[in-house]
Structure 1
Amino acid sequence: MTRTLYQLDGCPWCEKVADRMDELDLDYESVWVDAMHSARNDVKRVSGQRAVPVLVDDAHGVTMNESANILEYLDTTYGE
């Protein structure tokens, strides 16, 4: 099972998602992206856009952005 979180250092929305994943005791890989939107080619390749955070959850075939959507997904899928 592979989960990947694309995030930017100092991004409060990224931190919220990472914190929730830690609270849920989920294993995931962090991919730290460049601050310049134009340099976020990895993010664009997986999600079709360059904004972060982006979560890729291979176990469920899910790729999503927008922290609120990701938090809801995490709670629904992995919460108690």
Structure 2
Amino acid sequence: MATDITMYVLEGCPYCEAVTDRLDELDIEYDREEVPALHSGRNDVKRVSGQRAVPVLVDDDRGVTMPESENILEYVDRTLA
């Protein structure tokens, strides 16, 4: 099922897990895009956000692309909860 929210995450990343755990707690559907451990392999993240760090949330419905777990958590609680 396609959703309007995509999360770019790295397996084992505690910042990514904090965000996806919150989305799961709120029962918010999202597409999970696993990225490679090497920054040089994160071209998809670079393309959508302009940088290679994760997590990155993309909310197509609202036209929002956002890095940084603290900012994403605030956005989720304020806008999507």
Calculate the TM-score normalised by the size of structure 2: 0.95
Counterpart Cα distance in 2 of 1:34 and 1:18: 17
Counterpart Cα distance in 2 of 1:54 and 1:13: 10
Amino acid of the residue matched to residue 60 of structure 1?
Answer: R
Partner of 1:20: 22
Q: Deviating runs (4+, > 2 A) in structure 1? A: none
Q: Does 1:77 align with 2:64?
A: no
Show structure 2 runs of 5+ residues with no match: none
Deviations 1:40-66 (A, max 9, x none): 000000000000000000111100000
Q: Does 1:48 align with 2:50?
A: yes
Calculate the TM-score normalised by the size of structure 1: 0.96
What's the C-alpha RMSD, in Å, of the aligned pairs?
0.7
Amino acid of the residue matched to residue 35 of structure 2?
Answer: V
Show structure 1 runs of 5+ residues with no match: none
C-alpha displacement of 1:2: 1.0
- Aligned residue pairs total 79
Partner of 2:38: 36
